[in-house]
Amino acid sequence: MGSFRDTLDTRALRFALAFPLLLAAGFAVCAQMLRNTLPDPVAVMWNADGGTSFAPFGAYVAGSAVLITLLGWIAFLQAVPISRPVIMRRVMMGLGLMLSLFITTVAAAGLVGQSGIGEARLSHVDPIVLAMGSGAALSLGVVMMFAFKPDPRWTPEDDQALEAERRLAADPDLARDTLRMWVHARSSVFIMIIVSALFPAALIAVVVPWLGALVAAAALVAAGFLFARVRADRGGLQVFAGGLVPVLSVPAVDIAAASPANVKAADYGGWGWRHHEDATAMLVSSGPAVVVRRLNGRRVALSAGSAAAADTLAGILNRAAERARQDGQSQQSGPR
């Protein structure tokens, strides 16, 4: 149970549970002050002519208090788990305050609009209470988003950051041997895809909606394969098409050599992820690239975006391969 409590922001939890309850109680007390001036039953729904649906006073107050409490809890409790991003927790705390106050405003405007009127069918929601209360709910919610300071807690992300800093302090060259980058095709290529695929898909959708959607989806998938996320470090090379789909993975121990080159996509089968003869390629355009020779004789080609990036990436992969070979030799020559 203790470990579960450690995942919660206790200050936020206390506020999240108490505020809607106190707000609902305050609404009920204030409603009792108007009880003698209200018709019986009171209106709960209105149109331009007046009240359309009615309920006893007690049901109106109880229902409003339940809505204030439950909807407030639902919104506020999203800000309690400390594992969620700080920005999300601040936004949800502000939305919880905003929602609770807005529901209270609507319920109060309904009662004030019926005060002093003998027939609920002739009543309307009080516009002044509704406008002032809504404005206050919005402004106070925004203030809460900026004022709420989530409890600083040590999280698994902090453990990972600490371990990364520890490794970097122990091995300063680690940062030099790590690269994260995105490569993508020229903007003119994406304009061509829009003109040649998405516009026709919109016209096709007028006649055959599913076919238009299929053409548009195919165009988006094709465009996605003209983006790539590259990750290179001492473990080797990894490439993700569209930033998500892993298409290339070359461990450092399998790298014979890496060299920058100015390639033509046609020599490797075209743009995107390709298998061509003895090579596997992820090319988003012709131009600067890195060609990796593997120990099994196969090649891997990857767009690098610029000549400088290609030089940097090739250097990292060559150092990673050399380090992997040295580690392998030291293990083989060790005591048996």
Q: Output the CA torsion sign for 155, 160, 164, 166.
A: positive
Q: Tell me the pLDDT tens digit for each residue of 69-80.
A: 999 999 999 988
CB 21 within 8 A of CB 69: yes
Q: What is the pTM of this model?
A: 0.50
CA-closest candidate to residue 84, choices 155, 144, 5, 13 = 155
Q: Tell me the pLDDT tens digit for each residue of 102-149.
A: 999 999 999 998 888 878 888 888 899 999 999 999 999 999 998 888
Amino acid at 271: W
Q: Tell me the pLDDT tens digit for each residue of 302-318.
A: 888 888 888 988 888 88
Given this model, what pLDDT does residue 154 score?
62
Given this model, what pLDDT does residue 151 score?
63
CB 183 within 8 A of CB 230: yes
- The CB-side HSE value for 23 (13 A sphere, CA atoms) comes to 28
Q: What domains lie within the chain, and their CATH numbers?
A: 2-147 (no CATH), 179-185+226-332 (2.30.29.30)
Given this model, what pLDDT does residue 6 score?
67
Q: Above pLDDT 90, what percent of the chain?
A: 22
Q: Tell me the pLDDT tens digit for each residue of 45-75.
A: 888 888 888 889 999 999 999 999 999 999 9
Structure confidence at residue 19 as a pLDDT band (50, 70, 90): very high
Q: Tell me the pLDDT tens digit for each residue of 193-241.
A: 788 887 888 888 888 888 888 888 888 888 878 888 888 888 888 889 8
